[in-house]
């Protein structure tokens, strides 16, 4: 299932770029994130709790950044296991384009779920994936903006 | 945390201790061994588990045993013994309105409830009343026929009765 | 398909229910008719620590007429929507929607409040509530508030009910003179969730239709008010041209989800066809 | 010998239906045995991958858990099974084990088994199993699977092609080059599944003290499973008892070997206590065999008069990760290519078949194996030919159906037809449905914008198979059946027979057949089925053999007992047995009809006073008979169906108005039950024509695995079905009965597809894919 979107962020591409690798910002941005630990420069392990209508599941998984063209584009991929509920995985190709003082973030994501979630949640999945992707980038924008306005430590 | 519940099943008072997660269907089948209530989907889509809860057909798989505490449950075994659906059972038999028998409990419950509220249903109304009861064997027509025939028998019996009364 | 273990409490009052919810740290689920909760438990799609049964709370039951509004307790069963004389007169779109909702045995136990709170994007009662411009009465620890149906349905399976809050009742404004309604859906089989559905209410006057209210369902993440179509009909008599304009307006009103099993173009097409049919068959209710 | 037919041919009601109506059915799902534990399975969420980690420590320690098995601990006690047969030359499939070893091959593949005191606790423990699978690219499409460079479906195979074959007559090319008309089409038949209302269920009970294995198994073929369990677990088969009590629907789905049933038996042997597994609905969808899943390209050549000259067919069928055991997943495709054009005098033919693996649940035999595909393709092309030649669909069939007096006839695919009645059936159908009136109504309604369609489909059905089906390929699947008929000391009759009952009325028709041989009424004949310890071994119920083969077995057993009774009576009465007969519960004088001695008296004397019989008189009141069909390899039946539909051309929703069937299943034993089989079969054909489809995403995930999303046919959408009969008994048997269980399913979808296309014809739209969903119809109409 493919999802596409675009988000205009009130920050420069460099700021956006570093935020993409910022554990604290990602933790705020990932919907339902209960914990996020950095395991290398480009990878994180996450626990995410999702509740969508009749489904409520805790996913444990990894988030990784790859195909990195600094300041321009990268691929954000994640894979999580929700135990017997099934699994979810996805990869989003993210590209940054400066637009004045702002940055346009375009993404093309390919999302898949498996197991019980796929078997039973057909009517739910696409809407949910869209909603969560939207939330992620909206949260990302908020976290980024807060970071910007926060006084330097 | 187990719960003590008391309910009336087929006219008999029953006391059981159950886990809250136990469905009414599992209580009936596993604890009380009333295995005439069948489980076909455990999500309210097939109708095999219908029972009468306080007189109304409900899915025993969608009701918790603890929710039925203090209520009256009638299963196929009870309806059978009480003789309430004898004519329905007979027309089902005559018309061969069952094959494997797994859906039959639910079909009888739906038919019983339909005829209680509509003494002269059309074939379409009968099909509508059965719209939540899955049968893989019969193709439904024989069931529709049997319910229709039961309604006719009941109506003509009523007419005979009122004629007799009129004659008196 | 056996539910995971949970505790169960039968709340005797709304306050009881809300405090049980708080005591469970939010790891609780309210149970009304149970027809959405029970399957998701059996399928282990959720595993709350506590189930709070609302069925014994007197405040959630009852249907009464008060000052031009019909108050329908959240625990009102679907079958009552089908049979209750007050609902038939004062919330006619619920009565019109009820035969389309699932099957007889489900309707015996499923509740109106449960349907609305569950907010399945393909279910009938939420759209009827939007079209009737109903208001939803919600209890929270801060008190009671009423939310218009338009603001109640937020996203897929998401409503204005915050965690721990309880939907108490649905308030429906009584029909006014000249009121007409229409309800229909296209489903694969009787009782299935709709492929597309429409609930319409309007007031027929000498100057044409007024107060046109159209809610379509199964065309988005929640019931969608078709504002452009409403505008296209306002002040006009129902004729082929008006209907065609309303149908055309759906292009702007709807942004249906797209998937290979059910392309957006098909939903839009069916929504147009269905809206046309409903508009052509509006019935006077007052 | 006087053949009584008092009860054969009568609509006797089913005695065993009374138990179900009283809520007294006894299904495997109802069974609880002492010390029984409940099984649940941890399944792969991925369609393909390598098991990296499987940690069951926490699950094993969970409350109520008795034992946890993994491939390592369970698989060694059961020999792997391989679903290939010799007569499908060159077919390949990987050996199968109970639990996935190293690699998972479909979403739902069992990886671990948990046994606990309750199913709920077993499911609790499933959540504690740590399973890490490194996913691999799943092969989900059959055409793609055959493209070079596509990964293999599993490590155990060398190619994604399971089997390929071609049937071809020498004149094929010439027929097409001489043809005045050629019509063609590409068809897609969706994957669907049986959805028996009682899911698969098994309770295995191994007693280590005696070495006795008893398996209560919801199946139609207990003897086959007795043999499978004995062989795979290395037990003597007389120590394996398989009991199939009431079975809540089977339809072919419950005669295959499944991982879970084998695992349950293995676990019971290991633990020495009863183990129960009842599939829940979700598990059923991802582990029961699925059916069909074909893509067919076909063309048909005709001369200028519309005479069919030849068909050229290419079927690609997708069977999942393995071929099923023991009957293979090739039989379906094999029947597809052999049944094409079967009702017609079609001299030339080419049929190509490719059977292809994918990472999905297996497909295999399901009611009307192959028939619906062959029938739909043939009948669609016949309708296209009629359209091209401007012939009425009835007329083109009348020109091409094999003449009723042209038998025996051998089809272009090599099937031998003893005697069929296509033309009589066509005439009867036309009259029954009021064909001309319907056409007039159709024309009138079209003017009002109402689009109705009439579709017709002729068919043949394979019934009464001999060993040609499976035995010749090396499968240990019995083609014979056995019956034991005995007279009780009180003069009642008991028949134990190997054919089985799943509600079709097997026990009732057997009682009718036996009753007529012994001069009693069917309610005096108690019939026992479904238990390998108490009934003789046989093939049981599949491929429409219950009435034809089982009935003949019962008839011959009954006649054998009749002879024994008459011999005893002759001795007692000092009469020639040939002058005696049986009627109304007594031995009568054949010439006068006068009662001589009751059966009760015969039973009493032979049982309690055998000393009073003359010396040398055999007092046996038990007769045993086995019967295997000889003569034709199969007894074909025939018939014709018609479907009347209304398509809402704005919504794509089709309303089924009516369905008609004319059927010739030979001698009819019980009209009530024959019609019940036809009606049920028709609806099982209409389901996948309009609703049923196992939908998969491109990762190999089934996305509608519940009864909320997988649409089975329900009462509100199904039509009334009118039925008429022609009786052409087979001369292969004394009884003359053929099968009828699959006839309805064989042609219902074909008739429906022709009806929908007939409705769509004014718009120039056409549909060639099942199920015929609103989306597909709207797409054909250009609305989407």
Query: Per the CB < 8 Å rule, is D712 touching B134?
Result: yes
Cβ contacts (< 8 Å) between D24 and chain B: which residues? 36, 77
Mean pLDDT of B144-151: 98
Cβ contacts (< 8 Å) between A56 and chain C: which residues? 45-48
Cβ contacts (< 8 Å) between B150 and chain D: which residues? none
Which of A89, A115, A125 would best serve as a mutation to test chain D binding (most D beta carbons within 10 A)?
A115
Residue D5: per-residue pLDDT: 55
Residue A127: per-residue pLDDT: 80
Answer whether B31 touches D (CB < 8 Å): no
Q: If pLDDT is split at 50, 70 and 90, which confidence band does B165 have?
A: confident
Which of A56, A117, A120, A128 would best serve as a mutation to test chain D binding (most D beta carbons within 10 A)?
A120
Phi first, then psi: what are they for B65, rounded to 5°?
A: -55, -40
Residue B168: per-residue pLDDT: 64
Instruction: Scan residues 548-587 of D and list those with Cβ closer than 8 Å to B.
Output: none
Residue A151: per-residue pLDDT: 46
Q: Is the pLDDT of residue D100 over 70?
A: yes
Query: Per the CB < 8 Å rule, is D691 touching C188?
Result: yes
Answer whether D655 touches B (CB < 8 Å): no
Residue B57: per-residue pLDDT: 98
Instruction: Scan residues 454-513 of D and list those with Cβ closer than 8 Å to B.
Output: 502-505
Q: If pLDDT is split at 50, 70 and 90, which confidence band does A50 have?
A: confident
Lowest mean pLDDT among A47-51, D75-79, D193-197, D499-503: A47-51
Residue D263: per-residue pLDDT: 98
In this complex, the residue of A112, A116, A122 whose CB is nearest that of residue D699 is A112
Answer whether B40 touches C (CB < 8 Å): no
Mean pLDDT of D103-126: 98
Instruction: Round to whole Å and give the CA distance between D468 and D338.
Output: 14
Q: Is the pLDDT of residue D440 over 90?
A: yes
Q: Minimal Cα–Cα distance from A79 to chain C, Å?
A: 19
CA distances from B88 to A152, B97, B98, D6 (A): 81, 10, 12, 29
Sign of CA dihedral D390, D393, D395, D399: positive
Residue A149: per-residue pLDDT: 52
Q: Three-state DSSP class for D600?
A: helix
Query: Per the CB < 8 Å rule, is D503 touching B96?
Result: no
**For residues A138 and D249, which has the higher predicted lDDT (pLDDT)?**
D249
Instruction: Round to whole Å and give the CA distance between D372 and C170.
Output: 51
Query: Per the CB < 8 Å rule, is C102 touching B132?
Result: yes
Instruction: Round to whole Å and give the CA distance between D250 and D684.
Output: 12
Mean pLDDT of C217-227: 96
Instruction: Round to whole Å and give the CA distance between D702 and B140.
Output: 28
Residue A78: per-residue pLDDT: 87
Instruction: Round to whole Å and give the CA distance between B85 and B103.
Output: 16
Q: Quick one: closest CA in C to A51, which residue?
A: C46
Query: Per the CB < 8 Å rule, is C261 touching D775?
Result: yes
DSSP letters spanning D8-59: TTS-PPPHHHHHHHTT---BGGG---TT-EEEEEEE-SSSSEEEEEEE-HHH
Cβ contacts (< 8 Å) between B129 and chain C: which residues? 104
Residues 6 or more apart in contact with residue D297 via CB below 8 angstroms: D184, D185, D186, D187, D313, D314
Residue A128: per-residue pLDDT: 82
Mean pLDDT of D566-579: 97
Instruction: Scan residues 688-717 of D and list those with Cβ closer than 8 Å to C.
Output: 691, 695, 706, 708, 711, 714, 716-717
Helix (H), strand (E), coil (C) string for D149-180: CCCCCCCCCCCCEEEEEEEECCCHHHHHHHCC
Convert the pLDDT of each residue in D201-255 to its tens digit: 999 999 999 999 999 999 999 999 999 999 999 999 999 999 999 999 999 999 9
Q: Quick one: closest CA in A to C122, which residue?
A: A123
Query: Per the CB < 8 Å rule, is D18 touching B93?
Result: yes
In this complex, the residue of B30, B93, B127 whose CB is nearest that of residue D716 is B127
Q: If pLDDT is split at 50, 70 and 90, which confidence band does C7 have?
A: very high
Residue D550: per-residue pLDDT: 97
Cβ contacts (< 8 Å) between D717 and chain C: which residues? 189-190
Cβ contacts (< 8 Å) between D119 and chain C: which residues? 2
In this complex, the residue of C5, C44, C188 whose CB is nearest that of residue D711 is C188
Which of C79, C105, C118 would best serve as a mutation to test chain B binding (most B beta carbons within 10 A)?
C105
In this complex, the residue of C1, C4, C269 whose CB is nearest that of residue D280 is C1
- In this complex, how many residue pairs, one in chain B and one in chain D, have their CB atoms less than 8 Å apart? 173
Q: If pLDDT is split at 50, 70 and 90, which confidence band does A148 have?
A: low
Query: Per the CB < 8 Å rule, is A54 touching C259?
Result: no
Residue D3: per-residue pLDDT: 42
Instruction: Round to whole Å and give the CA distance between A79 and A64.
Output: 9
Cβ contacts (< 8 Å) between A131 and chain C: which residues? 155-156, 221
Mean pLDDT of A86-112: 90
Q: Is the pLDDT of residue A147 over 70?
A: no
Instruction: Scan residues 273-302 of D and list those with Cβ closer than 8 Å to B.
Output: 280-281
Convert the pLDDT of each residue in D720-742 to its tens digit: 999 999 999 999 999 999 999 99
Decide: D358 and D141 in contact? Cβ < 8 Å.
yes
Q: Minimal Cα–Cα distance from A87 to chain D, Å?
A: 7
Convert the pLDDT of each residue in D588-625 to its tens digit: 999 999 999 999 999 999 999 999 999 999 999 999 99
List the chains bordering chain D where 3 or more Cβ pairs fall under 8 Å: A, B, C
In this complex, the residue of D282, D697, D704 whose CB is nearest that of residue A116 is D282
Q: Quick one: closest CA in B to D15, which residue?
A: B93
Query: Per the CB < 8 Å rule, is C47 touching A54?
Result: no
Mean pLDDT of C279-286: 94
Convert the pLDDT of each residue in D489-506 to its tens digit: 999 999 999 999 999 999
| Residue found under tokens 């903006």 | A145
In this complex, the residue of D691, D708, D716 whose CB is nearest that of residue C190 is D716
Sign of CA dihedral B87, B89, B90, B95: positive
Instruction: Round to whole Å and give the CA distance between D586 and D597.
Output: 6
Convert the pLDDT of each residue in C114-153 to its tens digit: 999 999 999 999 999 999 999 999 999 999 999 999 999 9
Answer whether D49 touches B (CB < 8 Å): no
Query: Per the CB < 8 Å rule, is D783 touching C261?
Result: no
Cβ contacts (< 8 Å) between C270 and chain D: which residues? 651, 774
In this complex, the residue of B76, B108, B136 whose CB is nearest that of residue D249 is B136
Convert the pLDDT of each residue in C235-275 to its tens digit: 999 999 999 999 999 999 999 988 888 999 999 999 999 99
Check: pTM over 0.95? Answer yes or no: yes
Query: Per the CB < 8 Å rule, is C42 touching B109?
Result: no
Q: Quick one: closest CA in D to C45, which residue?
A: D127
Cβ contacts (< 8 Å) between A120 and chain C: which residues? 43, 45
Answer whether B130 touches D (CB < 8 Å): yes
Decide: C113 and C75 in contact? Cβ < 8 Å.
yes
* Average pLDDT of chain D to the nearest whole number: 96
Instruction: Round to whole Å and give the CA distance between C154 and C222.
Output: 7
Mean pLDDT of D678-688: 98
List the chains bordering chain C where 3 or more Cβ pairs fall under 8 Å: A, B, D
| Residue found under tokens 């099993």 | C261
Decide: D455 and D645 in contact? Cβ < 8 Å.
yes
How far separated are the first and last CA of chain C, in Å rounded?
Answer: 48
Cβ contacts (< 8 Å) between B29 and chain D: which residues? 30
Convert the pLDDT of each residue in B10-69 to its tens digit: 999 999 999 999 999 999 999 999 999 999 999 999 999 999 999 999 999 999 999 999
Convert the pLDDT of each residue in C26-56 to its tens digit: 899 999 999 999 999 999 989 999 999 999 9
The ipTM estimated for the assembled molecules is 0.96
Q: Three-state DSSP class for D5?
A: coil
Query: Per the CB < 8 Å rule, is A84 touching D127?
Result: yes
Convert the pLDDT of each residue in D385-422 to its tens digit: 999 999 999 999 999 999 999 999 999 999 999 999 99
Instruction: Round to whole Å and give the CA distance between D309 and D302.
Output: 5
Residue A153: per-residue pLDDT: 40
Mean pLDDT of D124-145: 95
Residue C107: per-residue pLDDT: 97
* Average pLDDT of chain B to the nearest whole number: 96
Residue D1: per-residue pLDDT: 39
Convert the pLDDT of each residue in D459-491 to its tens digit: 999 999 988 888 888 999 999 999 999 999 999
Q: What percent of chain D clears pLDDT 70, i.e. is strictly above it? A: 99
């Amino acid at each position: 299932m493919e999802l596409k979107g675009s988000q205009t962020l009130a920050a420069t591409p460099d700021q956006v770029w570093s935020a993409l690798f910022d554990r604290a910002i990602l933790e705020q941005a990932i919907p339902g994130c209960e914990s996020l630990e950095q395991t290398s420069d480009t990878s994180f392990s996450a626990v995410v709790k999702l509740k969508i209508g009749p489904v409520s599941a805790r996913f444990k998984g990894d988030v990784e950044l790859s195909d990195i063209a600094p300041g321009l584009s990268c691929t954000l991929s994640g894979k999580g296991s929700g135990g017997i509920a099934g699994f979810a995985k996805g990869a989003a190709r993210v590209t940054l384009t400066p637009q004045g003082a702002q940055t346009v973030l375009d993404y093309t994501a390919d999302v898949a779920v498996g197991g019980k979630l796929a078997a039973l949640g057909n009517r739910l999945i696409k809407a949910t994936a869209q909603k969560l992707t939207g939330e992620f980038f909206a949260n990302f924008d908020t976290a980024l903006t807060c970071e910007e306005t926060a006084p330097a430590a | 945390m187990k719960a003590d519940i008391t309910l009336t099943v087929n006219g008999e008072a029953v006391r059981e201790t159950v886990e809250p997660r136990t469905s009414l269907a599992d209580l009936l089948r596993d604890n009380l061994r009333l295995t005439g209530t069948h489980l076909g989907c455990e999500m309210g889509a097939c109708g095999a588990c219908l029972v009468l809860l306080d007189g109304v057909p409900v899915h025993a798989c969608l009701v918790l045993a603890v929710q039925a505490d203090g209520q009256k449950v009638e299963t196929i075994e009870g309806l059978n013994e009480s003789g309430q659906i004898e004519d329905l059972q007979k027309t089902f038999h005559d018309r061969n309105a069952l094959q494997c028998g797994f859906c039959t409990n639910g079909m009888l419950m739906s038919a019983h409830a339909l005829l209680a509220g509509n003494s002269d249903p059309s074939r379409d109304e009968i099909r509508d009343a059965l719209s939540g009861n899955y049968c893989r064997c019969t193709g439904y027509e024989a069931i529709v026929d049997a319910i229709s025939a039961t309604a006719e028998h009941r109506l003509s019996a009523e007419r005979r009765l009122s004629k007799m009364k009129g004659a008196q | 398909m056996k539910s995971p273990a949970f505790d169960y409490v039968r709340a005797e009052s709304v306050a009881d229910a809300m405090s049980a919810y708080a005591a469970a740290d939010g790891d609780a689920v309210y149970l009304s008719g149970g027809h959405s909760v029970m399957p998701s438990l059996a399928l282990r799609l959720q595993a709350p620590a506590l189930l709070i049964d609302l069925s014994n709370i007197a405040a959630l039951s009852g249907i009464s007429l008060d000052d031009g509004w019909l108050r329908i307790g959240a625990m009102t069963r679907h079958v009552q929507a089908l049979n209750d004389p007050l609902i038939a007169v004062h919330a006619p779109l619920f009565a019109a929607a009820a035969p389309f909702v699932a099957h007889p045995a489900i309707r015996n136990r499923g509740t109106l409040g449960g349907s609305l709170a569950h907010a399945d994007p393909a279910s009938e009662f939420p759209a009827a509530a939007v079209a009737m411009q109903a208001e939803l009465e919600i209890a929270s620890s801060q008190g009671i508030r009423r939310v218009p149906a338009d603001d109640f349905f937020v996203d897929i399976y998401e409503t204005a009910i915050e965690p721990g809050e309880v939907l108490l009742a649905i308030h429906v404004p009584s029909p006014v003179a000249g009121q007409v309604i229409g309800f229909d859906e296209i489903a694969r089989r009787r009782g299935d969730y709709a492929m597309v559905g429409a609930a319409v209410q309007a007031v027929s006057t000498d100057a044409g239709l007024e107060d046109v209210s159209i809610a379509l369902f199964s065309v988005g993440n929640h019931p969608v008010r078709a504002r452009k179509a409403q505008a296209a009909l306002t002040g006009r008599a129902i004729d082929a041209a008006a209907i065609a304009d309303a149908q055309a307006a759906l292009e702007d009103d709807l942004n249906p989800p797209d998937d290979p099993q059910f392309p957006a173009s098909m939903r839009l097409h069916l929504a147009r066809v269905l809206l046309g049919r409903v508009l052509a068959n509006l019935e006077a209710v007052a | 010998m006087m053949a009584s037919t008092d009860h054969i041919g009568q609509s006797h009601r089913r005695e065993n239906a009374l138990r179900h109506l009283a809520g007294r059915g006894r299904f495997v799902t109802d069974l609880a045995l002492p010390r029984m534990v409940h099984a649940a399975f941890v399944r792969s969420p991925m369609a393909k991958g390598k098991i990296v980690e499987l940690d069951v420590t926490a699950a094993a320690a969970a409350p109520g858990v008795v034992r946890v098995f993994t491939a390592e601990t369970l698989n060694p006690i059961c020999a792997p099974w391989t679903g290939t047969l010799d007569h499908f030359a060159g077919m390949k499939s990987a050996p199968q084990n109970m639990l996935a070893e190293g690699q998972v091959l479909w979403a739902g593949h069992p990886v671990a088994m948990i046994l606990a005191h309750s199913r709920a606790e077993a499911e609790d423990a499933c959540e504690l199993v740590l399973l890490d699978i490194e996913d691999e690219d799943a092969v989900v499409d059959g055409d793609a699977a055959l493209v070079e460079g596509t990964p293999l479906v599993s490590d155990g195979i060398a190619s994604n092609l399971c089997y390929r074959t071609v049937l071809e007559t020498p004149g094929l090319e010439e027929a097409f080059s001489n043809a005045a008309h050629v019509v063609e089409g590409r068809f897609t038949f969706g994957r669907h599944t049986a959805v028996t209302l009682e899911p698969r269920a098994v309770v295995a009970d191994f007693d280590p003290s005696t070495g006795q294995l008893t398996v209560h198994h919801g199946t139609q073929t207990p003897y086959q499973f007795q043999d499978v369990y004995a062989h795979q677990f290395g037990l003597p088969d007389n120590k394996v008892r398989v009991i199939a009590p009431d079975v809540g629907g089977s339809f072919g789905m419950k005669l295959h070997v499944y991982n879970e049933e084998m695992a349950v038996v293995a676990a019971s042997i290991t633990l020495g206590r009863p183990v129960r597994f009842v599939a829940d609905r979700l598990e059923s969808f991802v582990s029961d065999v699925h059916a069909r899943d074909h893509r067919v390209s076909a063309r048909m050549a005709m001369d200028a008069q519309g005479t069919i000259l030849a068909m050229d067919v290419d079927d690609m069928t997708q069977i999942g990760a393995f071929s099923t055991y023991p009957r293979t997943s090739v039989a379906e495709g094999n029947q597809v290519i052999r049944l094409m054009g079967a009702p017609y005098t079609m001299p030339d033919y080419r049929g190509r078949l490719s059977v292809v693996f994918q990472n999905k649940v297996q497909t295999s035999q399901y009611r009307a194996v192959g028939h619906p595909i062959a029938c739909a393709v043939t009948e669609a092309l016949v309708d296209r030919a009629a359209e091209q030649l401007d012939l009425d669909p009835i007329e083109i069939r009348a020109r091409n159906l094999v003449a009723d007096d042209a038998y025996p006839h051998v089809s272009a695919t090599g099937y031998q037809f003893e005697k069929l009645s296509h033309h009589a059936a066509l005439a009867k159908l036309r009259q029954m449905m009021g064909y001309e009136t319907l056409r007039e109504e159709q024309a009138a309604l079209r003017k009002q914008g109402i689009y109705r369609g009439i579709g017709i489909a002729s068919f043949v059905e394979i019934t009464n198979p001999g060993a040609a089906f499976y035995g010749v390929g090396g499968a240990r699947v019995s083609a014979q059946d056995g019956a034991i008929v005995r007279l009780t000391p009180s003069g009642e009759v008991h028949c134990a027979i190997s054919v089985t009952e799943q509600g079709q009325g097997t026990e009732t028709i057997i009682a009718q057949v036996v009753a007529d041989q012994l001069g009693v009424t069917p309610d005096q004949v108690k019939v026992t089925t479904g238990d390998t310890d108490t009934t003789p071994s046989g093939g049981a119920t599949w491929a429409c053999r219950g009435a034809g083969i089982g009935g003949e077995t019962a008839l011959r057993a009954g006649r054998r007992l009749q002879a024994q009774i008459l011999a005893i009576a002759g001795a007692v009465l000092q009469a020639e047995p040939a002058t005696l007969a049986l009627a109304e519960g007594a031995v009568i004088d054949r010439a006068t009809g006068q009662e001589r001695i009751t059966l009760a008296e015969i039973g009493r004397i032979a049982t309690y006073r055998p000393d009073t019989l003359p010396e040398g008189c055999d007092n046996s009141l038990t007769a045993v008979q086995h019967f295997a069909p000889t003569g034709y390899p199969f007894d074909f039946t025939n018939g014709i169906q018609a479907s009347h539909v209304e398509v809402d051309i704005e919504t794509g929703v089709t309303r089924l108005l009516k369905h008609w069937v004319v059927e010739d299943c030979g001698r009819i034993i019980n009209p009530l039950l024959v019609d019940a089989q036809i009606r049920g079969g028709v609806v099982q054909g209409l389901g996948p024509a309009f609703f049923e489809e196992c939908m998969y995403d491109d990762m190999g995930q089934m996305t509608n695995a519940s009864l909320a999303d997988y649409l089975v046919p329900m009462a509100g959408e199904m039509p009334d079905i009118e039925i008429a009969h022609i009786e052409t008994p087979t001369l292969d048997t004394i009884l003359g009965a053929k099968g009828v269980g699959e006839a309805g399913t064989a042609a219902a979808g074909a008739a429906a597809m022709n009806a929908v296309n007939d409705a769509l014809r004014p718009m120039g739209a056409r549909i060639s894919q099942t199920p015929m969903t609103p989306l597909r119809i709207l797409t054909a109409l250009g609305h989407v």
